[in-house]
Chain A
Amino acid sequence: MTPPCSGTLLQRRAVLRRLGCAVALAVLPKAPAADGRSVELTIATDGDLLAFKPDRLTCPAGARVHLTFKHTGKYVRQEHNWVLTRPGQAQAVEEAALAAGEQNGWLPRADPRVLAATPQCSKGQQVSVDFIAPPPGDYPFLCTNPGHGEVMHGILHVTTE
């Protein structure tokens, strides 16, 4: 004989089990490249200073990268972006960005030298970009706002898979 409310009890258990799984998944840290194909990268400004923190990132070639860029500035009203370029092309991209002007977000449009770029980010905000990691090598990244790239830059080190 089925006890009364057993259906409800089973349903409750099922709900609790699902809830437990959801909580466990939420608590688990996101393992970088856990499946070898997807990576979460986070980078920030060094507060109000013209620098990225960290200035060196690593990911495996071919990985699906989700990069979050946080502007941790508190005082200075300046915008920044994060732009990944082909090796040896950062300076040229910086010059092209200056030519592109503010109306284009200080970024040359459809420029093959640019591999990925976030939108402009104001202080206290964060932006993100998704891209597929290029072949192994060291790829420069920089902020293309006028005058920033010379000091606000770093390297994405892409490893073999």
Chain B
Amino acid sequence: MRKIRRHFHGLAFAVGLLAAFGATLSAGADLKSPSLVKTSLQIFAGVYGDMERKLAAKTYERLPHENQEFQDGAAAMRDAIASEPPAFKTQVETQLKKTLAASQHVADTSATRDDAQVHAALDALATSLTDLNGLFPESLRVAPGSVPPPRGPHGPGGPGGAAPK
């Protein structure tokens, strides 16, 4: 009897796990506003990239400003998932809050002007942002720091700026 009960519990757990996974997958695969989801993830990735550049330039005092932009980007994500099933919305909101807290931590840490500490905070933000991306289909994900094409041969300051004839 105990054996049967144990099997039943195991089976119920597996079914529950599959259902939760299925709900996430179907909600993610059939989003109501996929383009806005993509835009919001692009905003986050873009601001993250900007934070990286500020850190590289050691302009720590600009990081709180970048955090503000990051927090603004959350409105885009909330609009994007507004019409999604409640379970999926909760899942995204939970991860979003973690990501926003990580961004806030970057801003808070910037006051120390300690390169290692700010780097660690930024790494934590990247991890959290990657987890947020993971809730959505692969085609919509935007890796932290992947921003529009960097300064190329035709970009400003590059050789593309041909001299006047």
Contact = CB atoms under 8 A, between A and B. Distances in A.
Interface of A: 46-51, 74-78, 85-94, 98, 134-142, 146-153, 155, 158, 160
A93 B62 CA distance: 19
Given A48-B73, A146-B54, A88 B161 contact: yes
A135 B164 CA distance: 6
Contacts, number: 116
Given A75-B73, A76-B72, A140 B157 contact: yes
Interface string B16-37: 0000000000000000000000
B39 to A, nearest CB: 6
A87 B68 contact: no
Contacts of B162: 87, 137-138
B4 interface: no
Contacts of A147: 50, 53-54, 57, 59, 62, 66
8 contacts: A48-B43, A87-B164, A90-B161, A92-B157, A138-B154, A147-B54, A147-B62, A150-B151
A46 B39 CA distance: 10
A139 B162 CA distance: 7
Interface stretch (B99-107, B118-126, B129-137, B142-150): B142-150
B156 A91 contact: yes
B161 A50 contact: no
A78 B73 CA distance: 11
Ranked 4 nearest A-B pairs via Cβ: A90-B156, A87-B161, A91-B157, A140-B156
A87 B62 CA distance: 28
A142 B76 CA distance: 25
Contact of B150 (A91, A94, A150): A150
Interface in B66-91: 66, 68-69, 72-73, 75-76
B151 to A, nearest CB: 6
B150 to A, nearest CB: 6
Nearest to A56: B154
Nearest to A153: B156
B157 A89 contact: yes
Nearest to B51: A147
B157 A138 contact: no
A140 B155 contact: yes
A51 B164 CA distance: 26
Interface string B109-122: 00000000000000
